[in-house]
Structure 1
């Protein structure tokens, strides 16, 4: 699982061999959340509110790039 970014104890990952919808995995301590890249909806899991806000802020500024990485790692889903 490639880590594409990390900040404030949060790691952002995108797997290869993934499934739709295009999403990121965000880990913070023992928590994990999957967030749809294009819609910004929580797909699964949870994070405490402060790290979750930071992840949403990160996604707001990096969604296009994250989507590129997702499709680069998962070309069959394009």
Structure 2
């Protein structure tokens, strides 16, 4: 799975899920073996990581919304995403 960013021990990934269960643009954030899936609107879709780290992820998504949406559009077209 392609990593697009890492900070404070959090790994952020975005990848194409053909027929995946999450139908909205989203990212996967992993921290110490736990994972949370967050929509680009900042909603938690699945999972959890420690509350402070999850808050950082949601803030990061808000800051990088435009880039993440452009990345999602590339993936939807079957193209490679870009990395931060």
Q: Which residue of 2 aligns with 1:45?
A: 47
1-side partners of 2:2 and 2:64: how far apart? 16
Q: Deviations over 1:24-64 (max 9, x none)?
A: 00000111011111x21101111101110110111110011
* 8 Å CA contact retained: 1:26, 1:55: yes
Unpaired segments of 5 or more residues in structure 1? none
* Structure 1 residue 17: Cα displacement: 3.3
Structure (1 or 2) with the greater helix fraction = 1
Deviation at 1:71, TM superposition (A): 1.6
Q: How many residues align?
A: 75
In 2: Cα distance, 1:6 partner to 1:50 partner: 16
What's the TM-score once normalised by structure 1's chain length?
A: 0.86
C-alpha RMSD over aligned residues:
1.4
